[in-house]
Structure 1
Amino acid sequence: MRSLLTTAVVLLLAGPGWGSSAEEYEYYSWQSDHLQSGRFYTKQPQCVDIPSDLRLCHNIGYRKMRIPNLLEHDTLPEVKHQASSWVPLLAKQCHPDTQIFLCSLFAPICLDRPIYPCRSLCQAVRDGCSPVMGSFGFPWPDMLRCDRFPLDNDLCVSLQSQGNQVTQPPVSKVCPPCDNEMKADVILEHYCASEFALKMKIKEIKKEKGDRKIISQRRKKVLKMGPLRKKDLKKLVLYIKNGASCPCNQLDNPNSNFLIMGRKWDNQFLLTVIHRWDKKNKDLRHALKMMKTYQCPTYHHIFQ
Structure 2
Amino acid sequence: MRSSSESFWRMIRLAVTVALVSACGASEYEYVSWKSDSYNGGRSYGKPPQCVDIPDDLRLCHNVGYNQMLLPNLLEHETMAEVKQQASSWVPLVHKNCHPGTQVFLCSLFAPVCLDHLIYPCRWLCEAVRDSCTPIMEAFGFPWPEMLTCDKFPQDDVCIAMTQPNTTEVPKPTGYSPICPPCDNEMKTDTILEHMCASEFAFKTKIKEVKRENMDRKVILQKRKKMLKQGNLKKKDLKKLVLYLKNGADCPCQQLDNLGNQYLIMGRKVDKQYLLTGIHKWDKSSKEFKKAIKKLKTHTCPTFENVFK
User: TM-score, normalized by length of structure 1?
Assistant: 0.86
Asked whether the 8 Å contact 1:9–1:61 carries over to 2, the reply is no
Say whether the 8 Å CA contact 1:96–1:161 is kept in structure 2.
no
Match of 2:234 in 1: 229
The answer to whether the Cα contact below 8 Å between 1:123 and 1:146 also exists between their aligned partners in 2 is yes
Contact 1:30/1:41 (<8 A) preserved: no
What corresponds to 1:264 in structure 2?
A: 269
Match of 2:289 among 271, 284, 289: 284
2:213 is equivalent to residue 208 of structure 1? yes
1:175 is the counterpart of 2:162 = no
Matched residues, percent identical? Answer: 62
Matched, 1:124 2:128: yes
CA contact (8 A) 2:21 2:65 kept: no
Q: Which runs of 4+ in 1 moved over 6 A?
A: 163-167
In the alignment, structure 1 segments of 5+ residues that lack a partner are: 15-28, 34-38
Question: Does 2:68 correspond to 1:52?
Answer: no
Name the stretch that deviates more: 192-201 or 168-177: 168-177
RMSD between superposed Cα atoms in Å: 2.5
Q: Partner of 1:31 in structure 2? A: 40
CA contact (8 A) 2:244 2:274 kept: yes
Q: Secondary structure at the match of 1:131?
A: helix
Alpha-carbon distance, 1:6 to partner: 7.7
Contact map agreement 2:140 2:198 (CA 8 A) in 1: no
The structural deviation recorded for 1:183 is 0.4
Q: One-letter code of the match for 2:93? A: L
Distance in 2, matches of 1:148 and 1:93, equals 24
Q: Give, in whole Å, the separation in 2 of the partners of 1:108 and 1:78.
A: 15
Counterpart of 1:198 in structure 2 is 203
Does the CA contact (< 8 Å) of 1:30 and 1:40 recur in 2? no
Counterpart pick for 1:10 among 10, 18, 29:
18
Structure 2 residues without counterparts, runs of 5 or longer: 1-9, 23-37
Q: 2:245 aligns with which of 230, 240, 262?
A: 240
Taking the aligned partners of 2:231 and 2:151, their CA distance within structure 1 comes to 33
Number of residue pairs matched by the alignment? 282
Shift of 1:110: 0.6
Native 8 Å contact 1:227 1:264 kept in 2: no
1:63 pairs with 2:79: no
**1:32, 1:233 → 2: CA distance?**
50
Secondary structure in 2 aligned to 1:228?
coil
Q: Distance in 2 between matches of 1:79 and 1:203?
A: 42
CA shift, 1:151, in A, is 3.0
Q: C-alpha offsets along residues 96-153 of structure 1, whole Å, 9 cap, x if unaligned?
A: 1111110000000111122222222111110111111111111001111112222332
Q: Partner amino acid for 2:133?
A: C
What is the match of residue 134 of structure 1? 138
Name the CA distance, whole Å, in 2 between partners of 1:119 and 1:245.
32
Q: Distance in 1 between matches of 2:246 and 2:257?
A: 18
Find the aligned partners of 2:296 and 2:95 in 1 and give their Cα distance. 21
What is the distance in 1 between the residues matched to 2:272 and 2:16? Answer: 46
**1:264-285 deviations in Å (ceiling 9; x for gaps):** 1121111011001011211111
Q: Secondary structure at the match of 1:197?
A: strand
SS at match of 1:263: strand
Q: Judging changes above 3 Å, is the alpha-carbon distance between structure 1 residues 66 and 200 closer, same or farther for their aligned structure 2 residues?
A: same
Question: 1: distance between equivalents of 2:152 and 2:180?
Answer: 32
1:104 aligns with 2:108: yes
Deviation at 1:167, TM superposition (A): 7.2
Alignment match, 1:161: 163
Looking at structure 1, the residues matched to 70 and 115 of structure 2 have their Cα atoms a distance apart, in angstroms, of 8
1:31, CA displacement in angstroms? 3.4
Letter in 1 for 2:299: Y
- Show CA shifts across 1:223-261 (max 9, x none): 112232222101110011111122111122212111011
Match of 2:257 in 1: 252
Provide the C-alpha distance between the structure 2 equivalents of 1:302 and 1:70, rounded to a whole number of angstroms: 14
- How far residue 94 of structure 1 moved from its aligned partner, in angstroms, is 1.1
